Structure 1
Amino acid sequence: MRFLDHQASPAEIRRQGEAQGAIFDIWALRSGDRWRHEAVIRGLCQTAYLGDYTAICRVLGRYKVFVDTKDIGVASHLMLDGYWEMWNTEAIVGLVKPGMTVLDVGAHCGYFSVLLSDLIGPSGTLLSFEPNPPMAALLRRTIAVNGFDGRTTVYEMALGDEDGFATLQVPQNEPKNAHVVQGKGGPGMVEVPLRRADRIPGAADADFIKIDAEGAEQAIWKGLKNVLSRNRPLTILLEFAAIRYADPAAFLDEIMSHGFSLAEVDLVAGVQSRTRKEVLNASPSDDQMLLLTRG
């Protein structure tokens, strides 16, 4: 397997890739210049339109991801740049190791799931959760085309604090913002299965959990009760926006009561230590990607 010379120009990188069949060295994201890594990945990005508003694109210079071309928020970035939320991508590459059991909660079309599947290797296990049926269908195809279906299980369901059904509101052309709402029926709404994470086979063995669920984080946390109570080493990447919770301070205190250290994956600076006060004093509408580490 050949890796590209990351110090070359973007044009030279593309020439190397075409001539040598080289791929991006994903582990290079653990160090080095972000702008150069992004330039390398953009140079390797390609997209093939498959019809019926579906395309397949090369992301992170090595994986294939199926996308909905009507998706403005994520697919446009994957099709043109080949990456999404590089700050979180870098953090995940630095944290996830071979053999881990990982939960990807809010997997969308599978960008982070294929990365996680690669990082855990053939001895690892990935449980990937996506409640939106069209996105879950793309996710399954993405996992399969990259050869990761043997280590990955896709769950087409929402996670919460009870078992049953939930109503998912899917904004037009913005499936990444799909969220659970009260009530049933109406434009852009779909009923989906709802489960507690701690009742999913294998979830209790989680070493790493990513949670990006557009406001359902507190309910998901409650549904992790029997996972958290094992008090084993665990790392959680959780999107936190105070405006989404009735009592954000109480939610944060509940998180910290399980023995986690607190940090944030900053958009520019990467992983930065945070205090309770700093998290709660941030703009309530800001999405903070909290990094919670125990053990």
Structure 2
Amino acid sequence: MRFLDHQASPAEIRRHGEALGTIFDIWALRTGDRWRHEAVIRGLCQTAYLGDHTAICRILGRYKMYVDTRDVGVASHLMLDGYWEMWNTETIIRLVKPGMTVLDVGAHCGYFSVLLADLVGPTGKLLSFEPNPPMAELLRRSVAVNGFDGRTTVHEIALGQERGTATLEVPKNEPKNAHVVQGKGGPGTVEVPLRRADEIPGALDADFIKIDAEGAEQAIWTGLNDILARNRPLTILLEFAAVRYADPAGFLNQILSHGFNLAEVDLVGGVQGRSPADVLNASPHDDQMLLLTRG
């Protein structure tokens, strides 16, 4: 076994770590046996408690991530398994390329943001949006500890169809389900800045957008107007649940009017072609991760 000295390049260190099996090769997730990959990542997962309800864990067998230990919805999986929503993880790894400009809308503590920042590389750009202040702070720390802060901008704001403020309700121990509500806030709510995506510096050049916003998707889509109007090649991963929209068919038509091909990232089967009827005939309470591509 050859040991690396202090003059080894980052690429040499990465190859060496992968050869020893101590750093997971995320490119393996493009193909192969998901269950085997999950087992390897789970075996590489480590977690250290730092105090004050904060831990740092290893995700995807290679990145460091700060989490809130009270978060039962996502952090429990990251601390024990080291991955989250593997079907979406695999799809993102296949689609995002070096040099891209990417928007992560609804970034939570940063699981997908850290992965996206690595995928776009030093020539790319990641704009990461998380309105919940405690989660945004964990996101910033995770981006920095992995060395991705030079290519990543964290925006502690909600996105929608207008500029102003929004009331964010954060369920106790389930920050991934934080959502914008109408009217005055009560216990468990926080006032946050609200902006349109297309007014954010750099966002007009988006190549890939991930949107997971617990019901705010249609307002966010309206705020993408100037990005969509450029008619550039664009891929959007958007969570769609019909029960959240007053007119789900109208919203889907609004989406497809911009020239997108429609597919869904299925839990078991991966990317599957879908018709509008397929999407609208699914249970209205199901979260469907739509894959929209054009160009």
The 5-angstrom pairing of residues 146-225 of structure 1 reads 146-225=146-225
The whole-number CA distance in structure 1 between the counterparts of 2:271 and 2:156 is 31
The 5-angstrom pairing of residues 88-107 of structure 1 reads 88-107=88-107
The whole-number CA distance in structure 1 between the counterparts of 2:165 and 2:18 is 47
For residue 2 of structure 1, the aligned residue among 12, 16, 22 is 16
Q: Provide Cα deviations, 1:186-216, integer angstroms capped at 9, x if missing partner.
A: 1100000000000000000000000000000
Shift of 1:185: 2.5
Residue aligning to 1:61: 61
Shift of 1:4: 4.5
Task: Report SS of the residue matched to 2:16.
Answer: coil
Shift of 1:183: 1.3
Report if aligned partners of 1:184, 1:191 keep a CA contact under 8 Å in 2. Answer: no
Task: Report SS of the residue matched to 2:292.
Answer: strand
Q: Provide Cα deviations, 1:16-47, integer angstroms capped at 9, x if missing partner.
A: 54xxxx30000110000000000000000000
The whole-number CA distance in structure 2 between the counterparts of 1:137 and 1:203 is 22
Supply the AA of the counterpart residue of 1:139: L
The 5-angstrom pairing of residues 47-126 of structure 1 reads 47-126=47-126
Supply the AA of the counterpart residue of 1:112: F
Supply the AA of the counterpart residue of 2:230: R
Supply the AA of the counterpart residue of 1:275: S
Supply the AA of the counterpart residue of 1:140: R
Moved more, 284-293 or 183-192: 183-192
Task: Report SS of the residue matched to 2:265.
Answer: strand
Shift of 1:177: 0.1
Residue aligning to 1:237: 237
Report if aligned partners of 1:45, 1:82 keep a CA contact under 8 Å in 2. Answer: yes
Supply the AA of the counterpart residue of 2:221: W
Q: Percent identity?
A: 81
Shift of 1:184: 1.9
The whole-number CA distance in structure 2 between the counterparts of 1:283 and 1:3 is 44
Shift of 1:2: 2.6
TM-score of the aligned structures, taking structure 2 as reference length: 0.94
Structure 2: tracts of 5 or more residues without a match: 1-14
Residue aligning to 2:250: 250
TM-score of the aligned structures, taking structure 1 as reference length: 0.94
Supply the AA of the counterpart residue of 2:190: V
The whole-number CA distance in structure 2 between the counterparts of 1:124 and 1:286 is 33
The whole-number CA distance in structure 1 between the counterparts of 2:86 and 2:16 is 23
The whole-number CA distance in structure 2 between the counterparts of 1:3 and 1:205 is 35
Residue aligning to 1:263: 263
